[in-house]
Amino acid sequence: MLPDPSLARPRIPSIAVLGGGPGGLFTAWSLQRALDRPVHLELYEASARLGGKVRTARLGPRGVPYEAGAAELYDYSALGEDPLRELVAELGLATRPMEGHAVVVGGRFLANLDDLESALGAEAASALRRFDACAQDRLSPAEFFAADLEGGSASEAPGHRFSAFLDRVPSRGARRFVETLIHSDLATEPERTSVGYGLQNYLMNDPRYLKLYSIEGGNERLIEALAQRVRAELRLEHEVLRVSRAPSGRLRIAWRSPRSSGEREHDLVVLALPLEALRRVAFEGELLRAALARHIADYDHPAHYLRLTLLFERPFWRARLQDSYAMLEAFGGACLYDESSRTPGAGYGLLGWLLGGEAARAHAKLDDATLLSRALEELPFEGALARELFVAGAVHRWSDAVNAIPGGEVPRSHARRHQPEPHAHPELFVVGDYLFDSTLNGVLDSADHVAHAIAARLAESSEEAA
Ligand SMILES: Cc1cc2nc3c(=O)[nH]c(=O)nc-3n(C[C@H](O)[C@H](O)[C@H](O)COP(=O)(O)OP(=O)(O)OC[C@H]3O[C@@H](n4cnc5c(N)ncnc54)[C@H](O)[C@@H]3O)c2cc1C
């Protein structure tokens, strides 16, 4: 007897999320909350761990924790909705504020304009005062907050670079100060980024614009908490190699793992991959291939990081540096984190150097021992004592890992950013920090957008079917 078609139950939609970094996990989490119907969710992750560039690693005989990737989270809650802050609270994670006031120039800690004036002279202080006023005038805290909202970023002539804006600062000392302050956050050089992104990275040092915090016990706790709550079939060590249209009309994923390889079909696919990973995936079919090539070209502004972490018997620097971090002139502008300040009362001392841009890319070619030795040479205090108390070090290379002009030169609508080929492949989405501001906050906004777009699409298709 033939089955009665009226009794056939509609198939549960199958969604594949590619990438188990923050973007993939945020997508899975946001989908769970946005959807009002059951779905079958599969999360493909190429490596053996979740978390991508959020990684709390361990160092030395005691295995002390340090941040090997993302160091801080950004708190916008004083200006408006802050989905990341809300998520962290919802997951019950304790947080710790992070603060840094000083830029170290010529071995001197410059924490305010008076320090700057005494170190670099009245002309530099006055030029910096004018630059600061001009930056605030171009971007108020409310505009800064709105920059990543739909239609919030002011349009800028493509090719207009932050270096041209900085060149208008009449004092070399003031210019150098600003470059040092922002270099490690930008992860690129002023001539490779836009005026808007340069200004955002300058203004984020002002607590009226932004505050910084980290997660107690390590930022990777965020990943662990999400992984425990996300309801998805987890496919670790599954590197996705290819996306194509199957004869069934669904999207087909080809993957390989250390032991096998295979293909699976899904109704919806979300590529939660950074650009450098997206480049390695093959897209079949002329339209899809061309659309993804255009998408990658739109955001193709690679920026670089290099993280050096050194463990010492004790935090011998506390008379000079009490903050969570300071900016150093060394390496064209680097951030020096007191990693041990994340664990109050820790007997050990832990310093992390975050190099950005060209310095990060060039130094990444050197071996670990040379890099750790360079870090010690560039320490702005107690170099001899540092060598004496040094216990162990670690190097993490992150070339091409972030974006010099996130959001692209030409801001597009959120819908357009997240669907590279909306006409013939409306069920294919991308999620990425490179679509917003190269941060965890940005990749959560991206995941939220896609989850709501998918919810709307599923609601529409079930209405059509009814
Ligand atoms: C050194 C450094 C410091 C940073 N500091 C901060 C900070 O302080 N604050 C902040 O907000 N942000 C910071 N960032 C940026 C932040 O880490 C990113 O915004 C965030 O990790 C982006 O998440 P993602 O999931 O898009 O990408 P990723 O974190 O890169 O995760 C992508 C995942 O996809 C997997 N993958 C890749 N290819 C495939 C494939 N073919 N198939 C399946 N899986 C695949 C990868 O293994 C990885 O797990 C920093 C980044 C770096 C490198």
Q: How far apart are CA 130 and CA 127, in angstroms?
A: 5
Residues 271 and 417 placed together within one structural domain of the fold:
yes
Report the mean per-residue pLDDT for the chain. Answer: 94
Residues 82 and 192 placed together within one structural domain of the fold:
yes
Helices (H), 325-413: 357-363, 368-377, 383-389
Distance (Å) from CA 26 to ligand 1 centroid: 12
Q: Is the model's pLDDT at 4 over the cut of 70?
A: no
Q: Is the model's pLDDT at 188 over the cut of 60?
A: yes
What spatial distance separates the first Cα and last Cα of the chain, rounded to whole Å? 26
Q: How confident is the model at residue 100 (pLDDT cuts 50, 70, 90)?
A: very high
Nearest CA to ligand 1 atom 4: 70
Residues 366 and 318 placed together within one structural domain of the fold:
yes
Mode of pairing for the β-strands spanning 233-235 and 40-44 = parallel
- At 3 the pLDDT is 46
DSSP label of 435: G
Mean pLDDT of 442-462: 95
DSSP label of 244: E
Output phi, psi for 273, to 5 deg: -125, 140
Nearest CA to ligand 1 atom 49: 52
Residues 13 and 103 placed together within one structural domain of the fold:
no
Query: Mind listing the pLDDT tens digit for each residue in 118-143?
Result: 999 999 999 999 999 999 999 999 99
Residue 11, domain CATH: 3.50.50.60
- At 429 the pLDDT is 98
Q: How confident is the model at residue 148 (pLDDT cuts 50, 70, 90)?
A: confident
Distance (Å) from CA 299 to ligand 1 centroid: 16
Distance (Å) from CA 406 to ligand 1 centroid: 14
% the chain with pLDDT above 70 = 97
Mean pLDDT of 87-115: 94
Residues 340 and 207 placed together within one structural domain of the fold:
yes
% the chain with pLDDT above 90 = 88
Which residue among 17, 53, 238, 361 has the greatest number of ligand 1 atoms within 8 angstroms of its CB, and so is best to mutate? 53
The answer for residues whose C-beta is within 8 angstroms of residue 5's C-beta and 6 or more apart is: none
CA of 280, closest atom in ligand 1: 41
Q: Is the model's pLDDT at 77 over the cut of 60?
A: yes
Mean pLDDT of 329-337: 96
325-328 β-sheet, strand order:
108-110, 103-105, 325-328, 334-338, 349-356, 302-312, 390-403
Residues 122 and 204 placed together within one structural domain of the fold:
yes
Of 297, 444, 438, 272, the C-alpha closest to 356 is: 438
Q: How confident is the model at residue 223 (pLDDT cuts 50, 70, 90)?
A: very high
Q: How confident is the model at residue 9 (pLDDT cuts 50, 70, 90)?
A: low
Distance (Å) from CA 443 to ligand 1 centroid: 9
Distance (Å) from CA 18 to ligand 1 centroid: 13
Q: How far apart are CA 30 and CA 230, in angstroms?
A: 9
Please tell me the total number of residues recorded for the chain in this structure.
466
Distance (Å) from CA 78 to ligand 1 centroid: 26
Residues 230 and 327 placed together within one structural domain of the fold:
no
Count of domains forming the chain? 2
Pocket of ligand 1 (CB under 6 A): 18-24, 44-47, 52-54, 69-73, 239-240, 272-274, 277, 281, 305, 307, 398, 401-402, 432-433, 438-441, 443
Domain assignment of residue 251, given as a range: 5-54+219-300+408-465
Distance (Å) from CA 274 to ligand 1 centroid: 7
Greater confidence (344 vs 7) lies with 344
